[in-house]
């Protein structure tokens, strides 16, 4: 693509912006490979899976998800250390799924053999998709962080966010405090990323919110395709409440912090952050 598109992009500033915007979208899509394939499988099997098939739809999704993960490693689209961290998120996500379904937060209505306490094992891969996206986009766009908080504070916030998914069933829900803490920690942090040649920057919190928003969109497709259902959807599908966006924000934050175990926050050269856009620096 670059061989024929680069000359066109260099004809003018508007062409250059259009080329970079297209490249940004392509890199985002490539980073979402695991999640995109999972979502396609969930929707596709909802439409095409035959009644009375010898293999349950949920079990097929488990086997297909595992195959995708193996293929990503075999093709070197994910690193082994990334896969370990993504696997950890898979486990903590599955544990939360078992707990939440036991408390009636949502249900998996279809049959299947590959389940733990009624939770199909493909559910953990949905969490793994988030970690896979963050790890892959980090490499594809060469993330650098400006004014990043102390590492121990981010891990503390992530652990508290995870624990609150369990403890709020028995005591106070501290998610408002967690949102406030995330703003205090990351409010001054910028992520510097390179789509093409020029470093760009964005508030890290904006990135968190955008990722959580797209996860919410995917969740609506997943529930529409019958992969799981909330109690309010038993009488018919409707969009998932926008209030769930906060839960996905906290889970995405946990995934992000786990990924920093293998992608240590790096920092851009001092001159790069302060340079003006017209000088080819961050804009």
Confidence of residue 130 (pLDDT cuts 50, 70, 90): very high
pTM: 0.87
- pLDDT tens-digit map of 208-267: 999 999 999 999 999 999 899 998 888 888 899 898 999 999 999 999 999 998 888 876
| Calpha distance 117→84 (Å, rounded) | 24
Q: Who's near 207: CB < 8 A, 6+ residues apart?
A: 191
Phi–psi pair at 87, nearest 5 degrees:
-65, -40
What does the CA dihedral 169, 131, 214, 94 come to, rounded to 10 degrees? Answer: -30
The counts of H helices and E strands in the chain are 11, 5
- pLDDT tens-digit map of 131-151: 999 999 999 999 999 999 999
- pLDDT tens-digit map of 64-121: 999 999 999 999 888 888 888 888 888 999 999 999 999 999 999 999 999 999 899 9
* Strand ranges (E), the chain: 115-116, 119-120, 144-146, 190-194, 199-203
Long-range Cβ contacts of 6-9 (<8 Å, 24+ apart): none
Phi–psi pair at 51, nearest 5 degrees:
-65, 140
The residue ranking higher by pLDDT, 10 or 183, is 183
| Calpha distance 23→40 (Å, rounded) | 22
Q: What are the domain boundaries of the chain?
A: 30-279
């Amino acid at each position: 693509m670059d061989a024929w598109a680069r000359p066109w992009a260099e004809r003018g500033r508007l062409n250059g912006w259009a080329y970079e915007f297209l490249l940004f979208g392509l890199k985002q899509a490539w980073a979402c490979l695991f999640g995109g394939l999972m979502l396609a499988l969930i929707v596709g099997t909802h439409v095409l899976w035959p009644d009375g098939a010898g293999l349950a739809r949920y079990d097929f999704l488990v086997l297909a998800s595992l195959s995708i993960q193996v293929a990503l490693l075999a093709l070197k689209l994910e690193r082994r250390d990334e896969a370990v961290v993504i696997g950890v998120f898979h486990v903590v996500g599955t544990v939360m799924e078992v707990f939440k379904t036991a408390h009636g937060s949502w249900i998996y209505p279809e049959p299947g053999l590959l389940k733990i306490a009624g939770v199909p094992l493909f559910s953990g891969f949905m969490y793994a998709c988030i970690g896979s996206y963050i790890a892959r986009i980090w490499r594809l766009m060469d993330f650098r962080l400006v004014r990043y908080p102390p590492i121990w504070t981010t891990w503390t916030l992530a652990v508290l966010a995870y624990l609150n998914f369990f403890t709020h069933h028995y005591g106070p829900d501290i998610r408002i405090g967690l949102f406030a803490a995330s703003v205090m920690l990351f409010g001054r942090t910028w992520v510097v990323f390179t789509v093409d040649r020029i470093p760009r920057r964005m508030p890290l919190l904006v990135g968190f919110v955008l990722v959580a928003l797209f996860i919410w969109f995917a969740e609506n497709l997943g529930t529409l395709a019958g992969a799981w259902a909330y109690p309010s959807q038993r009488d018919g599908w409707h969009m998932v409440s926008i209030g769930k966006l906060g839960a996905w924000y906290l889970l995405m934050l946990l995934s992000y912090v786990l990924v920093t175990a293998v992608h240590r926050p790096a920092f851009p050269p001092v001159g790069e952050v302060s340079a003006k856009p017209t000088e080819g620096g961050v804009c």
